[in-house]
Amino acid sequence: MRPQKSLSIQGSAGNLEGIIHLPDAAPSAIAIVAHPLPTMGGTMENKVVTTLAKTFAELGFATLRFNFRGVGASDGEFDSGNGEVEDVLSVVHYAKEKFGHLPLILSGFSFGGYVSARAAQHLHPQPHRLVLIAPAVERSVPAFENSTSMPHVPHNTLLIHGEHDEVVSLADVMDWARPQHLPIVVLPEAGHFFHGRLNQIKQLVLQDFRGQRL
């Protein structure tokens, strides 16, 4: 098993609880994984999040997953996606201080995908890649009433969505992706939480990154 350890990262609302997954050799990149909606029970222990973290570590990346403000041992309280963008930026800052300016991959599941896409807009240089799993692209949920809309993302973004997603409909994702001509990898019959399909997500990420020059 690849090494992992708990850590505490200073954020704008206090300390953020996190876990870092280290590859077998010196890391070739940094990957940050953001979790789903805290008000619906989302944490860094979510199965999609842990699958992504372990997959990135297998690819040779130093990978950090963490709890947003107000979740687990992280200080602060839920901020409708706005303060959570600051949380991602704090984790990126910590990772760059620890590992240097390696290529950066931002990823997230559901709400975490929405937050990661927003955080990417504040980073210069831009992240090397975005990996978004069932991102929360529409803003009709009350928890997001004070937040901004899902931004456009680079064309090399890896976007994976379930055909039968019961939380973020595939139709909404198509409406968001269409003006960008953004490809979507659709898993037939998969729901929002990808029950029984986690290995498929892993294989898609491995195939997408292996052979790439970072």
The predicted model gives 33-59 an average pLDDT of 97
How far, CA to CA in Å, does 121 sit from each of 86, 89, 108, 154, 196? 12, 10, 15, 10, 33
pLDDT at 3 over 90: no
Mean pLDDT of 164-182: 95
Render pLDDT for 120-155 as a digit per residue (tens, 0 to 9). 999 999 999 999 999 999 754 555 665 678 999 999
Say whether pLDDT at 193 is over 70: yes
Task: For residue range 47-98, list pLDDT tens digits in order.
Answer: 999 999 999 999 999 999 999 999 999 999 999 999 999 999 999 999 999 9
Question: What is the DSSP annotation of 89-105?
Answer: HHHHHHHHHHH-S--EE
Does position 212 have pLDDT exceeding 80, yes or no? no
CA nearest 68: which of 36, 96, 93, 95? Answer: 36
Q: Got the DSSP string for 63-92?
A: EEEEPPTTSTT--S---TTHHHHHHHHHHH
For residue range 8-32, what is the model confidence (pLDDT) as tens digits? 999 999 999 999 999 999 999 999 9
Query: What torsion, rounded to 10 degrees, do the Cα atoms 200, 202, 204, 209 define?
Result: -170
pLDDT of residue 153: 97
Residues contacting residue 125 through CB under 8 Å, at least 6 positions apart: none
Q: What pLDDT is attached to residue 176?
A: 95
What is the rounded CA–CA span in Å between residue 65 and residue 52?
9
Give the DSSP letter of residue 182.
-
Return the residue matching tokens 């240097």: 100
Read off the pLDDT band of 1 (50, 70, 90): low
Which of 74-83, 105-114, 137-146, 201-210 has the least mean pLDDT? Answer: 137-146
Contact in structure between 138 and 165 (CB atoms under 8 Å): no
Do 109 and 191 contact (CB within 8 A), yes or no? no
Query: What's 4-209's CATH class?
Result: alpha beta
Q: What is the pLDDT of residue 31?
A: 98
- Rounded to two decimals, the pTM is 0.95
Question: What's the mean pLDDT in 171-192?
Answer: 97
